[in-house]
Amino acid sequence: MRKITIGAACLAFASLGPVGATDLGTNAQEPQTIDRSILHVQVILDHLGFSPGILDGRPGKSLTAALKGFQESRGLKITGEIDRATLQALHPYRAWRPTRTLALTPGMLAGPYTNPLPKDPQEQAKLPALGYRSPMEKLAEMFHTTPQVLLAMNNPRTGLEPGSKVTFPNALPVSRAYDAKLPADWRKTLNDLNVSADQPQGVKVVVDKSDEVLRVLDKQGRLVAQFQATMGSRHDPLPIGTWKIQGASYNPPFHYNPDLFWDAKANAKAATLPPGPNGPVGVIWLDLSKPHYGIHGTPEPSTIGRAESHGCIRLSNWDAARLSLMVKPGTPAVFQE
């Protein structure tokens, strides 16, 4: 059997479309430049719940939004920049180093994998799961990044096999002591996505169309978390108003109804798609009181805030999973301009 390496795995993404693209459009065959100082800021913000999107050591709109949220939460001047005051506020958390080098385990590399992954819902419905397409894609999502970043951080000849040492962005959680009442398969998903069990508790969610973020507020009205989000489109605009989060579906199947999709093919038929991180709603669906609308994950985290949705609120899988630990059924969700 041919040995699979980081370089070979990343090159394979060149033919897979969106999964192989970063949010700046870098070709999957070209390692990208990583600014370690920026990566350190991203890692700290990610741990604190102010998601900078993909951990890639590069500036961009997701990092700017995360900085603004963090600055607001700390009473700093809101600049969206890594300025002196912000660095001082981040300084106490410097122990979260930007990278970690780990030995791959069988669990980290375990499938099942789904490759090729058809685009047609009717073909997807025939599959047992909509899983990751390769170990490289799984490892990238585990550490809140992309295959290109992993390629840039490591020797391309590094083998993707148990015992191989690989450097990752430091997305390792503070705690894995998940609530035993949660389903076992969901606790595994949280663990695989490196989502910490230690999360702030929110009593209100605010989705703001103007800056494409989802904010979580505590009972004192303080901003305790913020996530970059994709929300609506000109065909399916964000439903402005106050709704409620009714509950969560973990690792859900997706009931595809072409009547609800303006871009469905004329001959499209209803289908039930199997669960998996590469399903249309990713690993979780938070149901809203407005029929057919929810807050959910995505199979393409690099498109968050840079694409359109069918009206729902789309987060990266790891951010959507994290949000689920912060809110309870009945939590109000305010959608505003």
Of 174, 193, 225, which closes a domain?
Answer: 174
Are 101 and 215 part of one and the same domain? no
Q: Does the structure show a pLDDT above 60 at 15?
A: no
Q: What is the pLDDT of residue 236?
A: 65
3-state secondary structure of 130: coil
Q: What is the pTM of this model?
A: 0.88
Is residue 130 included in any domain, yes or no? yes
Q: What is the pLDDT of residue 312?
A: 83
Q: What is the pLDDT of residue 65?
A: 97
Helices H / strands E in the chain, number of each:
10, 13
Are 117 and 34 part of one and the same domain? yes
Q: Does the structure show a pLDDT above 60 at 1?
A: no
Is residue 195 included in any domain, yes or no? no
Are 268 and 169 part of one and the same domain? no
- 62: Cα separation from own chain's centroid: 12
CA distances to 113, 155, 238, 276, 315 from 211, rounded to whole Å, are 35, 38, 13, 29, 14
Are 159 and 255 part of one and the same domain? no
Is residue 188 included in any domain, yes or no? no
Q: What is the pLDDT of residue 308?
A: 47
280 vs 15 pLDDT, higher one: 280
Are 10 and 142 part of one and the same domain? yes
Q: Does the structure show a pLDDT above 90 at 266?
A: no
Q: Does the structure show a pLDDT above 70 at 12?
A: no
Give the range of the structural domain holding residue 66, as residue numbers without chain letter.
6-174
Q: With beta carbons less than 8 A apart as the criterion, state whether 13 and 147 touch.
A: yes
Of 174, 189, 220, which closes a domain?
Answer: 174
pLDDT tens digits, residue range 214-225? 999 999 999 999
Is residue 156 included in any domain, yes or no? yes
Is residue 280 included in any domain, yes or no? yes
Is residue 328 included in any domain, yes or no? yes
Computed from CA positions of residues 162, 165, 166, 169, in that sequence, does the dihedral angle turn out positive or negative?
A: positive
Q: Does the structure show a pLDDT above 60 at 313?
A: yes
Are 18 and 167 part of one and the same domain? yes
Domains in the chain: how many in total?
A: 2
Q: Could you give the CA distance from residue 244 to residue 226 in angstroms, rounded to a whole number?
A: 18
How does DSSP classify residue 50? B
pLDDT band at 71 (very low <50, low <70, confident <90, very high): very high
Of 133, 138, 128, 247, the C-alpha closest to 191 is: 138
Q: What is the pLDDT of residue 295?
A: 96
Q: What is the pLDDT of residue 232?
A: 59
Are 141 and 268 part of one and the same domain? no
pLDDT tens digits, residue range 293-305? 999 999 989 888 6
Are 219 and 309 part of one and the same domain? yes
Stated as kind and residue range, the H or E segment containing 305 is none
Is residue 243 included in any domain, yes or no? yes
- Find the mean pLDDT for residues 134-159: 95
Q: Could you give the CA distance from residue 169 to residue 146 in angstroms, rounded to a whole number?
A: 10
Is residue 142 included in any domain, yes or no? yes
What percent of the chain has pLDDT above 90?
Answer: 73
Are 218 and 306 part of one and the same domain? yes
- 9: Cα separation from own chain's centroid: 21
pLDDT tens digits, residue range 43-61? 999 999 999 999 999 999 9
Are 92 and 51 part of one and the same domain? yes
Of 152, 174, 196, which closes a domain?
Answer: 174
Are 209 and 148 part of one and the same domain? no
CATH number, domain of 231, equals 2.40.440.10
Are 147 and 29 part of one and the same domain? yes
What's the chain's average pLDDT? 87
Q: What is the pLDDT of residue 21?
A: 31
Structure tokens at 261: 């999709």
225 vs 16 pLDDT, higher one: 225
pLDDT tens digits, residue range 76-101? 999 999 999 999 999 999 999 999 99
Q: Are strands 230-231 and 241-250 parallel, antiparallel or unpaired?
A: unpaired
